[in-house]
Amino acid sequence: MRASIQSVVLPVAGLGTRFLPATKAIPKEMLPVLDKPLIQLAVEEAHKAGIKQVVLVTSASKRAIEDHFDVNFELEATLEQRGKLAMLDAVKTTLPNGMTLAVVRQPKALGLGHAVLCAQPIVGNQPFAVMLPDDFIDDTQGGCLADMVALYNQEQAYSLAVEEVPRDKTDKYGVVSLNEEGRIVAMVEKPKPEVAPSTLAVVGRYVLPGAIFEALTEVKPGAGGEIQLTDGIASLLASEHFRPHRFKGVRYDCGSKLGYLQANVALGLRDTEVGQSFAAWLKTQ
Ligand code: G1P
């Protein structure tokens, strides 16, 4: 039996230029879907997967994320005094019970692969998970990462979450090709539609071997001149098996305005407090 998945790496050092000016002074991962920031939705999904340690890979100007998971003494004391106990609980459990948070800085924006490599001193040479909080996966049954960790626990299989995308969108994703047994045999970052090996795209959930760190130290700048996680994984495909995980639920690309709006509508419609009136109002639009 291999080691269990204890850590999730959340690379959050990016600038979030697509949401400027909203993200001038707050990190894009702090944008809320309904009443929870994207980063918290990711941490909650990791918690459901049984993960104990959250490793944030941050940059300057991302302090709000650390503060969100820390104690806010004044706020907690005020809520307690006013008897707002449900709210107090929500504030106290932004980092779910039993989870710890570690923070490491990515000194330069050299790419997703480089960001993941920055977490090596904390994760060690262990299998671990990576989540990209921009990709919000709404799965009311369980959770995408929980299913991937279960697959790892049962079959020792590393995996990448995937979904079909239109061919004209392949240049926004890492794209995989599979062999007859369904194993990933090739992976390329942001291929143009005419050269993409398939239309099966990787979305932001990965269960990876510790060996990825060594591989990432060897990777040369790839698409966009960046050290790509995709290239690190591609270099391991001959020695390690990676499975595509076709997740349940719906993935919203909350790094785009359309996906972000759709996620808010989906959660808004299900909200016990405002869902019905929101649905009624939406019909009038
Ligand atoms: C990153 C990865 C890419 C993956 C995508 C999923 O790209 O590099 O392989 O398909 O996330 O959202 P980014 O969206 O950061 O450009």
Portion of the chain with pLDDT greater than 70, in percent: 99
Distance 172 CA to ligand 1 centre (A): 7
Q: In order of start, what are the domains of the chain with their CATH numbers?
A: 7-283 (3.90.550.10)
Is there a contact between 4 and 153 (Cβ–Cβ < 8 Å)?
yes
The whole model's pTM is what? 0.95
Encode pLDDT of 7-64 as tens digits: 999 999 888 789 999 999 899 999 999 999 999 999 999 999 999 999 999 988 788 9
Residue 141: predicted pLDDT: 86
Best residue for ligand 1 mutational test, from 17, 202, 252, 253 (most atoms within 8 Å of Cβ): 202
Best residue for ligand 1 mutational test, from 38, 130, 173 (most atoms within 8 Å of Cβ): 173
Encode pLDDT of 73-104 as tens digits: 999 999 999 999 999 999 999 999 999 999 99
pLDDT band for position 205 (50/70/90)? very high
* Residue written as token pair 């239309």: 199
**CA distance linking residue 18 with residue 148, whole number of Å:** 30
Ligand 1, atom 8: closest residue by C-alpha: 174
CA distances from 273 to 34, 37, 67, 279 (A): 11, 18, 27, 12
**CA distance linking residue 83 with residue 98, whole number of Å:** 25
**CA distance linking residue 127 with residue 241, whole number of Å:** 13
**CA distance linking residue 125 with residue 123, whole number of Å:** 7
Tokens of 153: 């626990």
Is there a contact between 232 and 113 (Cβ–Cβ < 8 Å)?
yes
Tokens of 98: 């039993």
pLDDT surpassing 60 at residue 1: no
Is there a contact between 84 and 200 (Cβ–Cβ < 8 Å)?
no
Alpha-carbon dihedral angle through residues 223, 221, 11, 179, given to the nearest 10 degrees: 60
Distance 136 CA to ligand 1 centre (A): 13
Helices marked H in 51-142: 63-68, 73-81, 85-92, 112-118, 120-123
Distance 187 CA to ligand 1 centre (A): 12
Encode pLDDT of 247-279 as tens digits: 999 999 999 999 999 999 999 999 999 999 999
Q: What's at 122, amino acid-wise?
A: I
Residue 120: predicted pLDDT: 97
pLDDT surpassing 90 at residue 212: yes
pLDDT surpassing 60 at residue 121: yes
Residue 273: predicted pLDDT: 95
pLDDT band for position 142 (50/70/90)? confident
* Nearest residue to 182 (alpha-carbon basis) of 157, 215, 208: 157
Distance 228 CA to ligand 1 centre (A): 9
Is there a contact between 105 and 58 (Cβ–Cβ < 8 Å)?
yes
CA-203 nearest atom, ligand 1: 6
Distance 189 CA to ligand 1 centre (A): 8
Average pLDDT over the chain, rounded to an integer:
95
The set of protein residues with a Cβ atom below 6 angstroms from ligand 1 is 112, 132, 135, 173-174, 189, 201-204, 228-230
Distance 199 CA to ligand 1 centre (A): 14
Residue 2: predicted pLDDT: 67
**CA distance linking residue 121 with residue 105, whole number of Å:** 12
Best residue for ligand 1 mutational test, from 172, 188, 252 (most atoms within 8 Å of Cβ): 172
Encode pLDDT of 154-186 as tens digits: 999 999 999 999 999 999 999 999 999 999 999
Determine the average pLDDT of the residues in 116-139.
97
* Residue written as token pair 């799965």: 139
